[in-house]
Structure 1
């Protein structure tokens, strides 16, 4: 059984797609632990604000299997195949961590944006503050405490779940 950490983002009907995404994740994975939901400005393009969160879960799937489930959930929720990287999203689901694996295929783990994007690091530090980054060898809370918070505007919001 592996413990995985998942980044979820949306800036198109985010309440609808967060709920749909979490419902789908709960079908495929167990022991979900949800961070708070955070709102942030779009990064890399001009667009509506994003909602973001991190979810921890347990899985029997290997890394490729997890990624395939994420891609299917995204597509089932209107994600356009081949859409530009920096563009609006109905649902963006990324694998951040798979236990303490460090790999480059089928995806890069740990995901680089953990240490570069506040919308990933803050919610990760919230649900796994004492867990250590497998390359930086610092806890996520320590990484968040030392993060330059002037780089990105981010704020927690109240969110009403119906999944």
Structure 2
């Protein structure tokens, strides 16, 4: 079984779409470990704020199959095929890590956004502070500590999951 780490984000009805996305991920991958929820300003375009978090799960699927599953979940929850990279999203799921594999195809792993975007690094550092980035060789807690926190606005938000919703 491989341990995967998933970035989730939304700025279109974000609570609704993140809850639905997490339920779909749970149905596909089983129990999830979740970071806190964070709110951030849109990066790369002018738009409403995003809600972001990181989840982890275990899977027997290979990397390509995991990514295909994420794309299907996004589409099932209103993500438009071929939408611009920097645009509003109902649901954005990105594979950040697949164990400690480093690769360029079928996707780049570890994902560059880990060290470049606060909305990925902070929740990842919260979820697995001692885990080391496979290329940087530093823990995610250390990477977050070194991160220029003035470069992107990000803050934790209280988020209450509906009763009976478990991950």
Q: Do both share a fold (TM > 0.5)? A: yes
**Cα shift at 1:92:** 0.2
Measured after TM superposition, the shift of residue 160 of structure 1 is 1.9
**2:89 matched to which residue of 1?**
89
How is 1:105-124 mapped onto 2 (pairs within 5 angstroms)?
Answer: 105-124=105-124
Structure 1 partner of 2:23: 23
Q: Secondary structure at the match of 2:31?
A: strand
- Counterparts of 2:156 and 2:29, CA distance in 1: 25
Measured in 2, the distance between the counterparts of 1:72 and 1:159 equals: 25
Whole-Å separation in 2 of the counterparts to 1:73 and 1:56: 16
Structure 2 residue 142 is matched with structure 1 residue 145: no
Aligned CA RMSD, in angstroms, stands at 0.6
Please list, as runs of the form range in 1=range in 2, the aligned pairs for 1:12-161 lying within 5 A after superposition. 12-161=12-161
Distance across 2 between alignment mates of 1:65 and 1:159: 30
Q: CA deviation at 1:2?
A: 0.3
Q: Partners in 2 of 1:25 and 1:31 — Cα distance?
A: 9
The whole-number CA distance in structure 2 between the counterparts of 1:159 and 1:14 is: 11
Query: 2:136 & 2:124 partners in 1: Cα distance?
Result: 15
Provide the TM-score with structure 2 as the length reference: 0.96
C-alpha separation in 1, matches of 2:93 and 2:160: 19
The residue aligned with 1:10 is 10
Q: Which runs of 4+ in 1 moved over 4 A?
A: none
